[in-house]
Structure formats: structure tokens, C-alpha cells
Structure 1
Amino acid sequence: MHYFQEFINRKDTYSVKWDYAKTVFKSENELLPMWVADMDFHPPEAVTEAIKSRAEHGLYGYTFIADDMKETIKKWMKKRFGWEIQNEWLQFSHGVVPSIGKAVQGLTEPGDKILVQSPVYPPFFSMIKDNDRELVNCPLEEKNGKYVIDFHAFEEKLKTGVKMFLLCSPHNPVGRVWSRGELQQIADLCLKYEVIIISDEIHGDLVFQPNKQIPIASLSPEISARTITLVAPSKTFNLAGLQASAVITENKDYRRALEKIDKKNGVSMLNTFGVLAMQAAYEHGENWLEELLVYLDGNVHLVDSFLQEELPQIKAIKPEATYLLWIDCRETGLSDAELNKRLIEEGRIAMNPGTSFGEGGSGFVRMNIACPRDTVQEGLKRLKKALASSSVSS
């Protein structure tokens, strides 16, 4: 586990997280980046070796995805989630967000209503609006530091003629792992109102004990037939820049619709290194992942203890999954603008503002803790510097 402690200098590597933060946050200062969702850890050694081997081979021509890749993903889904899928259910994409875009374009029409649950990953909004669909929001409810679904409101929204529901499972940024009961209620209502489910399960491997990730499509054949599940090794194994993901659906009509969109856009294959990395990660990365989860859990506890002792007016929503902490700053009494100004100018730390996640995000920030413990501690010091003088604590 020592390799998670190693600090790796990512500056001047065209890293969005490290080299683009000053541009995104409009700052002249050097910022400690704890925002965009990638990790500051090396991936499993098998991934690096697979890429090195192909680099040494020296030819980077067109690369297809063979059946053994499908078998690898099939085995991963069975072992990690108890979900039996078939090879023919699998398609491949450059990422989960492009897959959401394809599903929106292929399975709905301009003007159709698509439901989301804010606060949620910002591309959920843009994939709807940029494709000229109508965004329908059913915000999550916060109860005693935990987010839940108001199922009465959920059904009322579906009644308005919603065609598609974008499910974030586990949920980013609030860190919920939806229970079987919650997923079954979602499924039952979507079946009742004939709503297509697009389930973004990119964080499904990053679940803390005793929680258990349940793919919503695994609940029943009926719900499987109405669901497209999106998965990727990118968050799990820190491979986001290699742009490789999988799309899983039993529904033949859905698969044909997605293929048609790919054909229209001239998309036919993935990046060579992305293919190799994805297979190596799923075949050989499980032990690395188990150690990662233990390390991340330690970072969660570090943040929670620090806030309780040093910044009691700030609270981290306890995550059931992901390496992204949803931090409640509302008791500081600061406006969102002042909160973000203090973080950038006084703390010199870059975290995602809660307002970017839509309704329910005001007064929050999202902190990425997928980094060495020393970096987390430095981030907490900067957070204290920025917020210790806020109105409640002063």
C-alpha cells in the first residue's frame, strides 16, 4: 500500500487537474488541485506493463476489441456484482459522457423530457440541454446528513411524460450507494411509466464496506430490458486519459440505436492503449483496487476527524462510495461567491463549487481525496486557512 503514499509530480504533463486549474479557477496563484475526478496514484503495474509492451512493439495501428475483452468484463461483473451479462450485450465507447450523449440522441427526440436528480455530475445537465431535450429535475433530499429520494416527487415528475431517466449510481457528488429497495422503487416506477434508464455506474467499483453496489439492470429481466448501464475502468484504476468504457444493455433495439449514432459520427474503435489498459486492469487489478479502497477510507476518516476538531462548522457528508467528498459549508454563513473566493485566494486550493452540480449544491464544495495522505493534510490546512475566520467561527 506504500505506493499510494508516493507523491508523483504531475505538473507540466498537460494534466487537466494540475496544469489547467489556474485557468479554470481564474487564479494567478498556484492552487492545490483537489477538484477534477482523477487520482494522483499510479495504476496497477499490469496496466503500465501492458502499455510499455505495446510501446516497445512500436506499431500503433487500428485496434479492434476481441471477444476475450468481453469475457474479461463479463467475469468482472459476475465476480464484483453477481451480475450475469452476455457478450452480445457489450458495446464500447470513449467514455461514459459520450455514451450518455449517444443514448440521448439515439433513443429520444428533441423536446423530449429527461429526468435527473440534483445535485449531480454537471454533464448530466449539458448532455440534455446541448441535445435540445427538456431537463426535468427531481432534487435529492438531505435528511440527517444522508441523501434520499422523494419517491412521491419522483413519480409526479415521471407522470409529466418523461422519456428517459439518468441515474447516477453510485451518486456523484453525494456518495450514495442506492439500496436494493431504492433501486427497486426506481425500477418499478420507470417500468410503470415506460421510461428508459441510463445508469451511470462509473464509480461502482469504488464502494466502501459494508455497502454493496447493485447494478439496477440486475434486478429483473424486465428492468434489464429498459436499461443501459455505463461502466469504465477510468475512475477505478485512474485511466481517464485513455478514454475507454463499456456500454451494457440486453435490449437489441437500444444497441442498434447506439450503433446508428456511432455510424453517423464515424466512430468505430477505441484508442489502442485504452483497449490494452482496460483489459489489463480488469484482469489483474483487483488486489490493487482492494488496497486502494482501504487507503481511500483512511483519507475519509482523516478529513472527518480534522473537520470535527479544527473546523466544526464544516461537515463532510459521509460517503458510501467514490473518492469525492461532498463538504457542507453552509454554517459558515458565506455566500457561494465568497466561499469560492476564499478557497482560491486565501486557501489557494481548487475544489469544485457545489453550485456547478445544480439545485441543492449551494453552500457545498466537492473535494477529491484520491491523493497521498500528505496532500490531503495540506489541503485541509489550506481549507482551515480559508475558512477558519468565517462568520460562525469568528
Structure 2
Amino acid sequence: MAEEQFDFDELIARRGTRSLKWDIDQDPDVIELWVADMDFRAAPVILEALQKKLDSGVFGYGLPTKAFYEAIVSWYRKRYGVEFSRTSIIPTTGVVPAISSILQGLCLPGDEVIIQTPAYNCFFSSVRNSGLVLSENALKLVNGRWEIDFEDLEERASREKARALLFCNPQNPTGRVWTRDELTRVAEICEKHGIFLISDEIHGELTAEGFRYTPLASVSPWAKDHVITASAASKAFNIAGLQTAYIIAPVAEARNRIDRQININEVCDPNPLGIEALIAAYSDRGAAWLDALNHYLDGNRKVIEEFVRESLPGCFLSPQEGTYLPWIDFSSFGKTSTEIEKELLHGYHVRVNGGAHYGETSPGWIRINIATPRARLREGLRRIALWAEDERKKGCHPLYRRNPLKYRDPVPI
């Protein structure tokens, strides 16, 4: 059989399709480089599975069958060498509902939940909406790389009210792909202090060349038995709208409490189309598409590295180890991320995510989504460069030097 070819350069018109990413406003000229939603067509194997389901003409309640559970178990075994029982899997509708249900099932109001900031914005809301108390273990920039402050983490984990660590592996928004040694130390601290270790691993499939995601549950015997993993095929395969995810909870007592809360919250029934899509994604053909996607994203990572180097001197791009969401420090412009976000949107027609969404530790940072065809990415970056040049002319950024703006002429979006 000939090797499948995938066209990630295809410019798909998403505006007017009831897309959260592209239809959030009425301005047809905005390039959307914000929410973690890719602009690529789903893998052919997924489209074929969905078409087969559509052809049936019936869309009643879905049932996660044996094939659903076996697809997840087989994916982790073949891709990461990790073994776990299908009985440890709890299906649900999304990773965010999963996280909220896990916290509510295992913690009591007033308990402290540790998160590492800057953090995915829904971590804050999941903790607070569950009646729990945030305990922020701020990450540190050490020699240009984000690292865990283990001394502070240990102190927070030792507190009387500490109940859980809500971890992110790989980390959003910094893009860190944690090493096995770092993960092992995290697990050891949680084991030592008897707190739950909950790991959001939805970005695990999205790693840059030279980096490899390590499931947190694989780093030690304790982690294998106690880490509670929340994940999905949705981020890597661009099927988030199909509302299907899963939790891996090896310990029966914790699993039963989580499963009960999943049902209380009414997030226990995955979308029937999502079930078919996950089974297809976690196949050999799905793996081939994912490998091609990561190769294309590596090309986009090189584009944004060049852009920051040539058009944003004085700004710092976090090393791109994982996710498709580069994290850039714009603080040398002397403006808050919220100000920059608004100016780019209203004056230059490009939407990004300001760091304020990810905690008070990120006042000058911007998150950019590069999971889009390269021509569209270059056009978005061209507009950001125009904003930066205008700031230089106003004297807002003395380090900025004029750039020829070689990011191509405007293209259709």
C-alpha cells in the first residue's frame, strides 16, 4: 500500500462554519492565532470512520465499546510502552469536565490544590468553581528554560490542607516537555506527602523534534498505581468538537469516587461520533498522520523562531519543546499582555492570547497558535511585525530595528 500523503498547507475557509475560533467576531479580516484549535483537516482515517457512521443515518446515544477501550490501551502500549488495564479507564466528554470531576470527587471544599503557573486558564476556574483553594507553585525561568521550583512545591505539598497537585504534561502555556527525572521527582513529592497527583496530558502527542513525551504514570511503581491521567485524542487530532475524552485511574477507590462525580456532573456520555473518531485516531494510520503533523509543526516552529529573532529583538521565545502554542515575552515593549492583545486585534487584525489569561505571573507574555497553514501563519506574523514597527516609531521599544517584513505579501485567510 502506498504511503498516505497529507496536505497541511491547504487553506480551509473556516469562517461562517460556527467555529469558536473563527466566528467569535464579525470582522472577516482577522487572522485567528489564539485558542488551541488547529486549522488542518482531520486525518483521512478519521474522516472515513465518521462517514461510515454518518451513512448509518442514526445518531442515538453512544456506547464506548470494547474497541474504544482497546484503542486507548493499545495506543499507550505501542507508542509509549505503557501498560494499564482497560478497567482503569473512565470515558467522559472532555478533559476540562474530567479535571473538575476528579477534583470534586477527591477533594473537600477548602482543600488546597497546587497548580504550576503560568497555567492553562481552565485550571484556575476548575479549582475555584469546585470550592477549592488555589496554591500556586510558580515555574522559574532558569538560563532561558522553564523549570519547576521543587523546594516551593515540596513546601506547598506538605501543608495540612494540601490535597492534590494538578499537573500539566507537556506544560501549557510554556511548552515544556518534562523529562523523566523531573516527573519522577514530582511523583516522589506527592507520594511523600500523600496528595493526589492529577495529570492533564492532552498535549502529549505534540512534541518537537528531539523531545519525547513521557506519561507521568510510567515513571515509578507508585506513579503507575496512583497517577490519575486525563487525556483525549482531541488536541493532537483536531477533533475537540466531538466531545470525547477519558480518565485513567488505576486505584479502584479513587476511580469509583471520580466515576460517581462524572455521573453527578452529567458528563459521562461521550459523543457517538467522538467514539468512532478516537478509535480511528489511535490506529496505525492515525499514528502516521500524527507523525506528519508533528513534522509540519516543526517547520512552523522554525518560522516563528526566525520571526522573533529578526523582527522582535528584545523579546524572548520560550524553547519550543511541545504543544503548538509558542510562548513569547513581549514585556520589553512596556505594555501589558492585555494591551498588546487588544492592539493587535483592533489595529492589525490578528488575534492572539494575552498572558493575563494564564495567571498573574505572565503580565507581558503572549501565546500564539502556530497550528495553521504556513502561508496564513506568515501573514499573521507579518501583521505582528507591523505592530512592532509602529511601536518602534513611537519610541516604545528602542531595541527594535527595522525589518524588511519578508513574511510574504497578504494572503487569503
Is this contact kept in 2: 1:329–1:363, CA < 8 A?
yes
Aligned to 1:82: 81
Aligned to 2:339: 338
- In the alignment, the residues of structure 1 paired with residue 147 and residue 61 of structure 2 have an alpha-carbon distance, to the nearest angstrom, of 46
Aligned to 1:44: 43
Aligned to 2:110: 111
Aligned to 2:312: 311
- In the alignment, the residues of structure 2 paired with residue 266 and residue 332 of structure 1 have an alpha-carbon distance, to the nearest angstrom, of 46
Aligned to 1:291: 292
Is this contact kept in 2: 1:299–1:369, CA < 8 A?
yes
- In the alignment, the residues of structure 2 paired with residue 74 and residue 101 of structure 1 have an alpha-carbon distance, to the nearest angstrom, of 24
Q: Give the alignment's Cα RMSD to 1 decimal.
A: 1.5
Shift of 1:21: 4.5
Aligned to 1:174: 174
Is this contact kept in 2: 1:21–1:33, CA < 8 A?
no
Aligned to 2:259: 259
Aligned to 1:5: 9
* Counterparts in 2 of 1:18 and 1:138: CA distance versus 1, 3 Å: same
- In the alignment, the residues of structure 2 paired with residue 249 and residue 123 of structure 1 have an alpha-carbon distance, to the nearest angstrom, of 21
The secondary structure found in structure 2 opposite 1:103 is helix
- In the alignment, the residues of structure 2 paired with residue 67 and residue 50 of structure 1 have an alpha-carbon distance, to the nearest angstrom, of 16
- In the alignment, the residues of structure 1 paired with residue 383 and residue 303 of structure 2 have an alpha-carbon distance, to the nearest angstrom, of 15
- In the alignment, the residues of structure 1 paired with residue 253 and residue 70 of structure 2 have an alpha-carbon distance, to the nearest angstrom, of 22
User: Which segment is superposed worse, 172-181 or 79-88?
Assistant: 79-88
Shift of 1:86: 1.1
- In the alignment, the residues of structure 2 paired with residue 307 and residue 340 of structure 1 have an alpha-carbon distance, to the nearest angstrom, of 17
Is this contact kept in 2: 1:112–1:134, CA < 8 A?
yes
Shift of 1:225: 2.6
Is this contact kept in 2: 1:342–1:387, CA < 8 A?
no
1:327-373 deviations in Å (ceiling 9; x for gaps):
11112222334322321222211101101100321111100000000
User: Which segment is superposed worse, 40-49 or 335-344?
Assistant: 335-344
Is this contact kept in 2: 1:139–1:359, CA < 8 A?
no
Aligned to 2:240: 240
Aligned to 1:356: 357
Is this contact kept in 2: 1:128–1:134, CA < 8 A?
yes
The secondary structure found in structure 1 opposite 2:54 is helix
1:170-228 deviations in Å (ceiling 9; x for gaps):
00010001111111111111001101011000000111232111111112221233211
The secondary structure found in structure 1 opposite 2:21 is helix
Aligned to 1:127: 126
- In the alignment, the residues of structure 2 paired with residue 35 and residue 21 of structure 1 have an alpha-carbon distance, to the nearest angstrom, of 13
Q: How does 1:215-234 map to 2 (within 5 A)?
A: 215-234=215-234
* Counterparts in 2 of 1:246 and 1:30: CA distance versus 1, 3 Å: same
1:90-143 deviations in Å (ceiling 9; x for gaps):
111101000001011100000000000010100000001011100100110012
Q: Say whether residues 1:15 and 2:19 are aligned partners.
A: yes
Shift of 1:71: 1.3
- In the alignment, the residues of structure 1 paired with residue 263 and residue 331 of structure 2 have an alpha-carbon distance, to the nearest angstrom, of 47
- In the alignment, the residues of structure 2 paired with residue 373 and residue 322 of structure 1 have an alpha-carbon distance, to the nearest angstrom, of 16
Aligned to 1:163: 163
- In the alignment, the residues of structure 1 paired with residue 336 and residue 265 of structure 2 have an alpha-carbon distance, to the nearest angstrom, of 43
Is this contact kept in 2: 1:114–1:164, CA < 8 A?
yes
- In the alignment, the residues of structure 1 paired with residue 336 and residue 269 of structure 2 have an alpha-carbon distance, to the nearest angstrom, of 46
Aligned to 2:71: 72
- In the alignment, the residues of structure 1 paired with residue 266 and residue 338 of structure 2 have an alpha-carbon distance, to the nearest angstrom, of 42
The secondary structure found in structure 1 opposite 2:327 is strand
The secondary structure found in structure 2 opposite 1:3 is coil
1:52-108 deviations in Å (ceiling 9; x for gaps):
111111011222111122111111101221111111111111010000010111000
- In the alignment, the residues of structure 1 paired with residue 183 and residue 49 of structure 2 have an alpha-carbon distance, to the nearest angstrom, of 37
Aligned to 2:324: 323
Equivalent residue letter for 1:211: F
Aligned to 1:276: 276
* Counterparts in 2 of 1:76 and 1:387: CA distance versus 1, 3 Å: same
The secondary structure found in structure 2 opposite 1:275 is helix
User: Which segment is superposed worse, 265-274 or 2-11?
Assistant: 265-274
The secondary structure found in structure 2 opposite 1:46 is helix
Is this contact kept in 1: 2:121–2:357, CA < 8 A?
yes
- In the alignment, the residues of structure 2 paired with residue 169 and residue 291 of structure 1 have an alpha-carbon distance, to the nearest angstrom, of 22
Shift of 1:266: 4.1
Calculate percent identity across the aligned residue pairs. 37
Structure 2's unaligned 5+ residue stretches are: 402-413
Equivalent residue letter for 1:127: S
Is this contact kept in 1: 2:98–2:262, CA < 8 A?
no
Shift of 1:33: 0.6
Shift of 1:9: 0.3
Equivalent residue letter for 1:375: R
Equivalent residue letter for 1:311: L
User: Which segment is superposed worse, 218-227 or 167-176?
Assistant: 218-227
- In the alignment, the residues of structure 1 paired with residue 152 and residue 322 of structure 2 have an alpha-carbon distance, to the nearest angstrom, of 25
Is this contact kept in 1: 2:175–2:327, CA < 8 A?
yes
Equivalent residue letter for 1:171: Q
- In the alignment, the residues of structure 2 paired with residue 32 and residue 15 of structure 1 have an alpha-carbon distance, to the nearest angstrom, of 13
Shift of 1:319: 1.3
Is this contact kept in 2: 1:118–1:140, CA < 8 A?
yes
Structure 1's unaligned 5+ residue stretches are: 23-27
- In the alignment, the residues of structure 1 paired with residue 76 and residue 324 of structure 2 have an alpha-carbon distance, to the nearest angstrom, of 21
- In the alignment, the residues of structure 1 paired with residue 329 and residue 6 of structure 2 have an alpha-carbon distance, to the nearest angstrom, of 31
Aligned to 1:184: 184
- In the alignment, the residues of structure 2 paired with residue 336 and residue 319 of structure 1 have an alpha-carbon distance, to the nearest angstrom, of 20
Q: How does 1:379-394 map to 2 (within 5 A)?
A: 379-390=380-391, 391-392=396-397, 393=400
The secondary structure found in structure 2 opposite 1:285 is helix
Aligned to 1:25: none
Shift of 1:240: 0.4
Q: TM-score, normalised to structure 1's length?
A: 0.95
